[in-house]
Structure 1
């Protein structure tokens, strides 16, 4: 009897956990759809809402541009040097430059940019939403006739999405320039060969996969932490003070996107 009761309790907990996980994933998808609809709505760009959105676009991107650019340049220079020296030691110098471009621009840079934005912007934004709900600020906005999703969540989501796309594009340019300078130096003699290599690497299929990967990376980083902070049960938040399930889902989505992009590029 005790064994049967224990088994039934374990099955019930397993079912509750699976249902909670499925609900959390559905809420993330639902929030993405809501944000998309609000982005296409002209009313989201009027008056105070436009000012709040512009503020989030600046505060999540502007202060980190210089620091992230320097970090990306340093990272690219170090990795380029390591790969080229290793390739030369094994007699594979003819493949070194292409490998550097593929590894840096196609794989590492977009992921690094999105993780940087997650740690710097979107995860703290999710924590801000949690504190806002715990203080009852969302209920106050609703009593004033304001939609908290439109006034508080949407600007943060748009700011995070813009930061991811901007830093990813900027870091790709920085990577290409850094790789060229590391290999050819301050001369234009290697520009024709480097341009041909760039065109060879970025075929139409690879370019499409790269664009889609960067876009989905940005959506995952911008939306999942906010969804976790906005929809997590208040009772749990009061007890734990934080929500780690959203971070797990975000990293899982990033991993799946990266695997799919590798399959699209190399298989």
Structure 2
């Protein structure tokens, strides 16, 4: 004799959906606050804490640094060439390089770096954290008086955030160099005009928005994937494992929209 599954009414399903949504976002906010407090606490940077963070930063950043830098260089060459040729055909060559810097350096590279680090580092680290929780490693740390959040989660969050910021900063420098070489070649004839145009684009307000956007990108991709790894999920949450990924993309999109408003309105 088979047991029939209980049939939930529409209000019950809607209530469960709203509760799951609110709980997921509350966990992200709470975990972000905990990580922020621990990250600003000097006690997190003792000898053991520094060693764990340094090791995790090395493991997360080094394997992807060269590959993403080469990818950013190729992307910069292709986009610069397309924009310059298109601008020349319409008689707008004087605006081509400024357009490249605004689109590529200000918008595309920080977002691409954050998503690349999320896929290669943050999401796998969240899966590792879930494996540690399921194997009892986190509970074992608590039993011996250690803080699993400080020892296992904080180094992963710091490493992912560091990798995102490092890749974005290095790739922006590479993109600027590739843009200059694509237009002026291997000479210093256009250095004065390029520097003047760069200063015009990166005004103090735009620079502040760019720095804050890169920072919030790194925090979003570092914290959100760790939430599912730290907390035990019920059956309904396991059926929607892509929910965490969707929430991360939603946060990245929101940050990007706010930065666009700050830069152009």
What is the TM-score of this pair, normalised by structure 1? 0.93
Q: Counterparts of 1:68 and 1:213 in 2: how far apart (Å)?
A: 19
Residue 69 of structure 2 corresponds to which residue in structure 1?
69
Does the 8 A contact of 1:134 with 1:234 survive in 2?
no
Question: What is aligned with 1:132?
Answer: 132
Name the count of aligned residue pairs: 260
| Partner of residue 264, structure 1 | 262
Runs of 4+ in 1 over 3 A off after TM superposition: 234-237
Counterpart residue number, 2:242: 244
- Counterpart of 2:123 in structure 1 is 123
- Encode CA deviations 1:218-249: one digit per residue, 9 max, x unaligned: 11011000112212426567x65x83221111
Unaligned runs of 5+ in 1: 1-5
* RMSD of aligned Cα (Å): 1.8
Contact 1:28 1:223 in 2 (8 A): yes
How many angstroms does 1:156 deviate by? 0.1
Aligned to 1:34, the other structure's residue is in SS state: helix
Q: Whole-Å Cα distance in 1 between the matches of residues 47 and 222 of structure 2? A: 24
Residue matched to 1:150: 150
SS of residue paired to 1:55: helix
**CA 1:80–1:73: 2 relative to 1, 3 Å:** same
Q: Please list every run of 5 or more consecutive structure 2 residues that lacks an aligned counterpart in the other structure.
A: 1-6
2:189 equivalent in structure 1: 189
1:254 aligns with 2:257: no
1:143-190 superposed Cα distances (whole Å, 9 cap, x missing partner): 121111111000000000111111111011011111000100000110
Equivalent residue, structure 1, for 2:3: none
Displacement of 1:48 in angstroms is 2.5
- Structure 2 distance, partners of 1:134, 1:243, is 16
SS in 1 for 2:9: helix
Matched, 1:99 2:99: yes
Asked if 2 retains the 8 angstrom alpha-carbon contact of 1:31 and 1:223, the reply is yes
